[in-house]
Amino acid sequence: MPVSGVPLRPLIAATAAYSAPALIVLSAFAVYEAISIWHGAAIWAVLTATTFLVLRRQHAALVAMRRYVERSADRWSQAAETERPAGFGDQVLSDLAAAVDRLVRQTRAETSRATTLIQAREMVIDAVAEPLLVLARGGHVSGANRAAHRLLGISVVGRDLSEVLRHPQVLEAANEVMTGGPPASVEVTLALPTERVFAVRIDPLPAIAADGAAAVLMLSDLTGLKRAERMRADFIANVSHELRTPLASIVGFIETLLGPARDDTAARGRFLEIMNQQAQRMARLVADLLSLSRIEQNEHLPPTGRIDLGQILGTVKATLDVVAQNKAMTIVLDVAPDLPPVPGEADELQQVFQNLVDNAIKYGRTGTSVTITARLAQEWHPSMPRTQGASTGKSQPRALSVAVADRGAGIARQHLPRLTERFYRIDVARSREAGGTGLGLAIVKHILNRHRGALAIDSAEGQGSTFTVYLPEYPG
């Protein structure tokens, strides 16, 4: 059947080319009078018309086939099938159309698999916790995962590595890897925007990708590990120093008592008293170290019991009343009558408030008072994790606050963020004279961490300090 849309000019040219031999033969017959001119012309006209019709049909099929192939190329990225024209003129073209259909289906399936694989790889890369960059030859960044965007900014892709990580060791290592060198690792300190330590690992890709990707750069944050190592070293140094000082004093007095003061009764009594004080100081330090270690081991386990804060605060007051009276001080306890029980470990919370009240007595002025105020908190402290108050029918979680206030010399504001660090002291000599180990507030912090609570410190020089403990009403 005829197919419309066939170009006429090339069809006429092809018909003329095919009918030219017949015209030459018929002309020769006419010259030799084998046939008349009119008979020759009629025969040539019939042959030309037949050739035209045959070529027209075949040419139409070829044009349809070309258009079908063109449309099939567009189908590679589409889900719908393209309808095949009604006919292609002969079996060869029909077989060719069927082959095109198979090629399209296979190509579409392979494209779908490749797309799925690429998406899966991108999801895996994005799920990697460490920042990861894909480097192309020439030194620019051709890809990055979510962690890299969070660390380095969303505009990292397309920029030169020297703009993203301005560190000579990283750039040198990346250049060596991308020019055929082996994998490289360097440890660098970067300001992003705060100073952080990273282990940078650069590995070459087995083959250069179509986008020019030649290597992968991964940054592992060592800041926490380095800080922990430094804290461990500082902790050991501090413990050694804190134990060495009283121990050296005791050893010195023992040597004196065994030597020149062997028979000096007055000196022996004085030295033994000092040795007793130093031994008690070491005993307090060891006890606090053991207490801190025990608390840290259980810090991830929230308490399961419920305690009465008023009862614990009453016990603390009764225990330290005598200590306060020795400085002509008083402890004033003000507990709201409607305080609900809170989740907690009684012994640990008693240690928290005993440490805070004891500090208030130590550093408060003689003749003043230490005030303990327990209330329902007016607002949720921002450093406290959200609790399950909503699951118990409460629309908003509630917290209890216990404030311990003294009338001492106060604390300069720059010291407040570091008060809960181990062995951190504002005045070392005064702290040792008062019998402090430098671990009391560190113990308080870790106990409150276990109870999902928080400690807020407010102080003004010359006016005193207030340490406020926040505890959730419901378990975290």
- Residues facing residue 463 across a β-bridge: none
Question: Residue 430, SS3?
Answer: helix
User: Which residue reads 């025969």 in tokens?
Assistant: 43
pLDDT for 201 equals 94
Coil, strand, or helix at residue 472?
strand
Q: Please, are residues 51 and 87 in contact by the beta-carbon 8 Å criterion?
A: no
Spell out, as residue ranges, where the chain has pLDDT lower than 70.
1-7, 58-97, 118, 121, 193, 208-212, 234-235, 238, 241-242, 379-397, 426-437, 474-476
pLDDT of residue 173: 92
- Cα–Cα–Cα angle for 135, 140, 145, rounded to 5 degrees: 50
pLDDT reported for residue 432: 56
Look at residue 388 in the predicted model and tell me its pLDDT. Answer: 45
> Residue 402: beta bridge partners?
374, 469
Residue 393: the pLDDT is 46
133 - beta bridge partners?
144, 217
Q: Which residues pair with 220 in a beta bridge?
A: 199
Check the CA dihedral 18-21-23-25 and report its sign.
Answer: negative
Q: Which letter does DSSP use for residue 425 in this model?
A: -
Token code pair at residue 152: 């380095």
Q: Which of 441, 439, 405 is nearest to 332 (CA)?
A: 405
How far is the CA of 155 from the CAs of 141, 152, 163, 194, 439, in angstroms?
10, 8, 11, 20, 46
The pair of three-digit structure tokens given for residue 189, joined into one six-digit string: 């300190």
Please give the distance of CA 201 from its chain centroid, rounded to a whole number.
18
**Crossing angle of helices 309-325 and 346-363, rounded to 10°:** 30
For residue 234, what are the contacts with CB-CB under 8 A and spacing of at least 6?
A: 423
Output the pLDDT for position 1.
39
Q: What is the model's pTM?
A: 0.51
Q: Give yes or no for a cis peptide into 193 (omega within 30° of 0).
A: yes
Say what the pLDDT of residue 390 is.
40
**46 burial via Cβ count (<10 Å: 0-12, 13-18, 19+):** exposed
| Cα gap 151→192, rounded to integer Å | 7
For residue 385, give the amino acid letter: P
Could you tell me how many residues make up the chain?
A: 476
Q: Look at residue 5 in the predicted model and tell me its pLDDT.
A: 55
pLDDT value at residue 430: 55
Asked if residues 352 and 471 have their Cβ atoms less than 8 Å apart, the reply is: no
Let me know: does 436 contact 363? Beta carbons within 8 Å.
no
Return the DSSP state at 340. Answer: P
Contact 101, 108 (CB under 8 A): no
DSSP secondary-structure letter at 382?
A: T
Contacts of 24 (CB under 8 A, 6+ apart): none
Structure tokens, 381: 């402290």
Q: Burial, 323: exposed, middle or buried (Cβ in 10 Å; 0-12, 13-18, 19+)?
A: middle
Domains of the chain: 8-106 (no CATH), 128-221 (3.30.450.20), 227-297 (1.10.287.130), 306-472 (3.30.565.10)
What are the angstrom distances between the C-alpha of 467 and each of 368, 419, 446, 452?
A: 17, 11, 15, 17
Q: Cα 285 from chain centroid?
A: 38
Q: What angle do CA 23, 29, 32 make, to 5 degrees?
A: 140
Assigned token pair, 361: 């007595």
From residue 347, alpha-carbon distances to 233, 350, 474 in Å are 30, 5, 19
Q: What is the DSSP annotation of 126-182?
A: HH-SS-EEEEETTSBEEEE-HHHHHHH-TT-TTSBHHHHS--HHHHHHHHHHHTTPP
Predicted pLDDT at 391: 42
What is the residue-wise DSSP string for 315-329? HHHHHHHHHHHTTT-
Burial of residue 273, with CB atoms counted within 10 A of its CB: 0-12 exposed, 13-18 middle, 19 or more buried:
exposed
Structure tokens at 213: 């990707």
Q: Which pLDDT does position 356 carry in this prediction?
A: 93
Of 472, 475, 468, 476, nearest to 374 (Cα)?
Answer: 468
